[in-house]
Structure 1
Amino acid sequence: METIFKNKKILITAGPTREYIDPVRFISNESSGKMGYSIAETLHHLGADVILVSGPVSIKSSFPAHKIIQVLSGSQMFKACQEYFETIDGAVFCAAVADYTPKITSEIKIKKIEEETNLELIKNADIAFEFGKVKQPHQKSVGFALETNNINENAIAKLKKKNFDLIVINSPNVNEGFGYDTNKISIITKNLSFHAFELKSKKEVATDIINQLKNSFKLDEKEKKILV
């Protein structure tokens, strides 16, 4: 790979979030964080200045621990990311942030009394969408779409809505995505070109994603030279 990433400031989110119902119970998901950490490690080795905002994970990583911002909830992740929106060159939104969080979090453990109970949820901030609203022309962003139906249509809709330059499509199939060391992805770019990849290790998948991001940065450089 070329050194186009050297000294570029890249924000990466990884892992799940925990949306607490009470001090011991929370809503979460199956994300292991492996994909996000693999991307962070690869970009770091390419010379990028990587900021990794991570939900709770259990990963042995070569990424420098002092450069990881540890968070629990979606709101904490949003707040941590928001501080870097103006200064980054690119962002890879790989974390599986919970769409909803409890409207009220009990300060004490909720006792099992009734046969049924109701849990009222409110929307979490959509971090990628919020970045997309303020994103500058020189900034690049990559999103992820885990889809089970109308895959390409849903992914393209998300690509446009969140102002992504690339969207990575994966699925919850066996050996793909959550919890596995392998993944099978497709990538759709901003100009709607489609790239499909075979099942690979997440380290290899990280390289495929970064290659597409590199192409996006290089395209900008070519356009600037033409304008000059």
Structure 2
Amino acid sequence: MTILITAGPTREAIDPVRFLTNRSSGKMGYAIADAAAEAGHRVILISGPTQIDVPHRVDYIPVESTQEMFEAVQHWIKKADVAIFAAAVADYRPAAVPDQKIKKTGDTMTLELVRNPDILGSARKEFGFHGALIGFAAETENLEDNARGKLQRKGCDLVIANDVARQDIGFDSNDNEILLVYPEHTEPLEKHSKEHLGQIILEKSMALAPHD
């Protein structure tokens, strides 16, 4: 099967030398991509900037901004049977990006932000994707409720939720502890390495894939 995976953070330029981003390391998405490639699937990995070596035997599509990731997903998702959106994309970007570095001129500076396109929310209606759709929910509160809301709003078959307020899991960590939130039930997975959880997420995602 062909599996599309997004991973890592995105960067939104403020000026030629500064950008907005988040703490995502990309480790979870890369672990899933590695597991999928090892299992013999075709993997399309669309990734924001990370410090991780690209897994062997994947089609690697590097991007930087959320808009670039949106366009890459729009192009490549047509080839996928399963789409796993593990990237932590920026919801907003600066409304204007000057050609030159912004100089320090006062005690405060106001930065106007505009909404970025919704990649996961576009998969079904705008991109016409009919395969298994798996989203991620990085939350700091109401973990299951927020994940289930995302699942329903965006037409997912599964949302993987984790608590990024905890220091021992999630962003920057080699471990994670997640909830698998399905339309009708929730399955918790205890704390483990992201490599181990990547294997499980792959298996759960493949079980949702359409079969001829």
| Fold conserved between structures, TM > 0.5 | yes
1:37 maps onto 2:17 in alignment: no
Q: Paired residue for 1:4?
A: none
**Do 1:13 and 1:94's aligned partners in 2 also have CA atoms closer than 8 Å?**
yes
The one-character-per-residue Cα deviations of 1:124-143 (angstroms, maximum 9, x if unpaired) are 11111001224444x01110
Q: Give me the whole-angstrom Cα distance separating, in 2, the residues matched to 1:180 and 1:96.
A: 15
Structure 1 residue 152, shift from structure 2 partner: 1.5
1:128 maps onto 2:120 in alignment: yes
Q: Give me the whole-angstrom Cα distance separating, in 2, the residues matched to 1:88 and 1:61.
A: 20
- 1:118 counterpart letter in structure 2: T
**Do 2:27 and 2:194's aligned partners in 1 also have CA atoms closer than 8 Å?**
yes
1:14 maps onto 2:7 in alignment: yes
2:196 aligned counterpart, secondary structure? helix
2:199 aligned counterpart, secondary structure? helix
1:77 maps onto 2:63 in alignment: no
- Given the alignment, which residue of 95, 101, 104 partners 1:112? 104
**Do 1:40 and 1:63's aligned partners in 2 also have CA atoms closer than 8 Å?**
no
1:68 maps onto 2:60 in alignment: yes
Q: Paired residue for 1:180?
A: 173
- 2:175 counterpart letter in structure 1: T
**Do 2:178 and 2:188's aligned partners in 1 also have CA atoms closer than 8 Å?**
yes
**Do 2:12 and 2:21's aligned partners in 1 also have CA atoms closer than 8 Å?**
yes
Structure 1 residue 61, shift from structure 2 partner: 4.2
| Structure 2 counterparts to residues 77-226 of structure 1, below 5 A | 77-133=69-125, 134-137=127-130, 139-172=131-164, 173-190=166-183, 192-217=184-209, 220-221=210-211
Structure 1 residue 47, shift from structure 2 partner: 1.3
Q: Where does structure 2 lack aligned partners over 5 or more consecutive residues?
A: none
**Do 1:102 and 1:121's aligned partners in 2 also have CA atoms closer than 8 Å?**
yes
RMSD of Structure 2 on Structure 1 (CA): 1.5
Q: Give me the whole-angstrom Cα distance separating, in 2, the residues matched to 1:96 and 1:122.
A: 17
The one-character-per-residue Cα deviations of 1:186-228 (angstroms, maximum 9, x if unpaired) are 10123x22111111000111112112112213xx54xx7xxxx
- 1:184 counterpart letter in structure 2: E
TM-score, normalised with respect to structure 1:
0.88
**Do 1:37 and 1:63's aligned partners in 2 also have CA atoms closer than 8 Å?**
no
Aligned-residue sequence identity (percent) comes to 40
Q: Where does structure 1 lack aligned partners over 5 or more consecutive residues?
A: 1-7
Structure 1 residue 62, shift from structure 2 partner: 3.2
**Do 2:13 and 2:93's aligned partners in 1 also have CA atoms closer than 8 Å?**
yes
Query: In 2 relative to 1, CA 129–97 (structure 1 residues): closer, same or farther, beyond 3 Å?
Result: same
Q: Paired residue for 1:52?
A: 45
**How many corresponding residue pairs?**
210
1:113 aligned counterpart, secondary structure? coil
2:190 aligned counterpart, secondary structure? coil
